[in-house]
Chain A
Amino acid sequence: GIQVEQSPPDLILQEGANSTLRCNFSDSVNNLQWFHQNPWGQLINLFYIPSGTKQNGRLSATTVATERYSLLYISSSQTTDSGVYFCAPALGNTPLVFGKGTRLSVIA
């Protein structure tokens, strides 16, 4: 099955800083999603991004499927951005495979 590697595993930022989270995957995919798990455990879908670039407020994501990676950019980070960010690719309608996540802590 698809292998997913996320980096860095942990990240501490000062409020207002920018960051880039990376997701590498081992096989061809045509579905890739990014999720945020907040400190209360809720999982929120941030992006469906099988290819190209999307932006939503201070967050944007880019997937280069041919090179098997995706990036999540967080600009002007806020304390509410804290939590764990998961990348999850898939091929076709097969189930998404989750990476182990990047734990982000934004401090005021």
Chain B
Amino acid sequence: NAGVTQTPKFQVLKTGQSMTLQCAQDMNHNSMYWYRQDPGMGLRLIYYSASEGTTDKGEVPNGYNVSRLNKREFSLRLESAAPSQTSVYFCASRNNEKLFFGSGTQLSVL
């Protein structure tokens, strides 16, 4: 039982490049989330998917898009990366109670 799996673990991009962060969970959870973590800011919600087929904006959605591919997978796309998107990104999934996190992706945009 792997829980929540994120790839890649590290990524360096140049300004303007695009990339997709992948996330998959094997706990049969309905809800999935993308958070970003910046120093001193805690975790801020980018987008979430309450169930397969639905997505909603969180607190900081600008510059990102998401796709809930199926119940297991929820991807985050940066279409044109900017230095302000340098951060640690966490995917998470939740049953009715507990939230479980992936191990994170450290992204640097130069």
Residue numbers of A with Cβ under 8 A of B are 1, 31, 33, 35, 41-43, 45, 48, 86, 88, 93, 95-101
Q: Are A101 and B42 in contact (CB under 8 A)?
A: yes
0/1 string, B76-100, CB within 8 A of A gives 1: 0000000000001010001011111
Interface size class, chain B: 20 to 34
A7, chain B: closest CB distance, angstroms: 14
- Residue B7 interfacial (CB < 8 Å): no
19 A-B Cβ contacts within 8 A?
A1-B59, A31-B97, A33-B98, A35-B99, A41-B88, A41-B103, A42-B104, A43-B101, A43-B104, A45-B98, A45-B100, A88-B43, A93-B31, A93-B96, A96-B94, A97-B45, A98-B35, A98-B43, A98-B44
B interface, by DSSP: helix, strand, loop or mixed? strand
User: In the complex, what residue of chain A is closest to B30 when comparing beta carbons?
Assistant: A93
Identify the closest chain B residue to A101 (Cβ).
B42
- Number of inter-chain CB pairs below 8 Å: 44
Q: In whole angstroms, how far apart are the Cα atoms of A10 and B66 in the complex?
A: 35
Asked if A86 and B98 make an inter-chain contact with CB atoms under 8 angstroms apart, the answer reads no
A86–B42 touching, CB < 8 Å: yes
Closest to A33 in B: B99
Q: Which residue of A lies closest to B100 (CB)?
A: A45
Shortest C-beta distance, A90 to chain B (Å), equals: 9
Once the chains are docked, how many angstroms separate the CA of A98 from the CA of B33? 13
